[in-house]
Every structure is written in structure tokens, then in C-alpha cells.
């Protein structure tokens, strides 16, 4: 009886490991997203292996869900904490991205780190993170946000 019980526990443990390991082993794939920010909602375009394999959609619109600003009074920079929602054109769902942005007040550019914090539809379990660089389109009138990172 004890031998059958041990064998049963071993078979159960192996089946759990063999089921969970492939899901956990899915490697993150490179993604490149461009979004002109002017500062109204606007379109995004995504490219890279994460798009090619269907991890994330190629196009849609971006909306700001929340925005908090901080930084030293009279300083040369501001820290922006932004939550954005990416709404896919193909109806596959949305994914939310949290950004911590460093806005340099002496130059018109920005840098940031980003990470996926939620999603709907096909993107409920989406994970990812990376870096962002904001390049002025025309100083004072808009920025092209360029996200580079990995998603899975």
C-alpha cells in the first residue's frame, strides 16, 4: 500500500511539473512600439518577434489612464508616473503599461522604464517590460515615444 501511494504521488508531481514547465519556459520576445504623443490619445504601431508570433497586436490606440508628476521645485527634471492603456485595432483586447518617466527640463527628450501591469481579452496574462525614449517631433508640440523591450 505504501509503495502504491508513493508511486501515485510521484506520478502526480511529474504531471504537474510537465504541465507547468512549458508555460513558465515561454521566453520573452522582443517588441518595438512607436507612439506619437501630442498629448492626446493616438495610434501605436508594434513590430518584432512578439508581434510576429501573436503575443501582442500590431496596431491600435493609446489612452492615458492616470498621470502623476513629481520632482524638485525649480529643478531640472520631473518624474512622471503614467498608466497607459493600449487598445488593439483587431479587437483582441487591451494591455496596460505603467511608465516611470524622467522628463529632462533642459532638453526636450524623455527616458523611461515600462512594464505591463494588466490586460483584457488575449492579453490577460501578458507580461513584459523595457525602456522608452521620447524624441521631440517638433519641440513643444509632441514627442515620439519609442518602447523597446520584451513580452510574453
Q: What would the pLDDT profile of 101-147 be if each residue is shown by its tens digit?
A: 998 888 777 899 999 999 999 999 999 999 999 988 876 678 899 99
What is the model's pTM? Answer: 0.80
Helices (H), 25-147: 49-52
Length of the chain: 152
Q: What would the pLDDT profile of 47-56 be if each residue is shown by its tens digit?
A: 999 999 999 9
Answer whether residue 145 is part of any domain: yes
Q: What would the pLDDT profile of 59-88 be if each residue is shown by its tens digit?
A: 999 999 999 999 888 888 889 999 999 999
Answer whether residue 8 is part of any domain: no
Answer whether residue 32 is part of any domain: yes
Task: Let me know: does 33 contact 42? Beta carbons within 8 Å.
Answer: no
pLDDT band, very low/low/confident/very high, at 26 (cuts 50, 70, 90): confident
Structural domain including 139 reads 26-151
Answer whether residue 10 is part of any domain: no
Q: How many domains does the chain have?
A: 1
Answer whether residue 81 is part of any domain: yes
Answer whether residue 69 is part of any domain: yes
Select from 48, 135, 54, 111 the least CA-distant residue to 88. 54
We report the CATH number of the domain holding residue 108 as: 2.40.350
Answer whether residue 106 is part of any domain: yes
Amino acid at each position: 500500500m505504501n509503495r502504491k501511494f508513493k508511486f501515485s504521488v510521484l506520478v502526480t508531481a511529474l504531471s504537474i511539473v510537465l504541465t507547468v514547465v512549458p508555460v513558465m519556459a515561454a521566453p520573452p520576445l522582443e517588441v518595438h512600439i512607436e507612439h506619437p504623443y501630442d498629448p492626446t490619445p493616438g495610434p501605436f504601431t508594434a513590430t518584432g518577434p512578439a508581434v510576429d508570433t501573436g503575443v501582442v497586436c500590431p496596431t491600435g490606440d493609446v489612452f492615458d489612464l492616470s498621470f502623476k508628476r513629481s520632482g524638485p521645485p525649480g529643478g531640472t527634471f520631473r518624474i512622471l508616473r503614467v498608466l497607459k492603456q493600449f487598445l488593439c485595432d483587431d479587437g483582441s483586447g487591451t494591455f496596460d503599461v505603467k511608465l516611470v518617466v524622467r522628463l529632462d527640463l533642459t532638453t526636450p527628450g524623455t527616458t523611461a522604464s515600462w512594464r505591463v501591469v494588466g490586460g483584457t481579452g488575449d492579453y490577460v496574462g501578458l507580461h513584459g517590460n523595457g525602456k522608452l525614449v521620447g524624441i521631440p517631433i517638433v519641440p513643444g508640440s509632441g514627442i515620439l515615444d519609442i518602447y523597446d523591450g520584451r513580452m510574453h
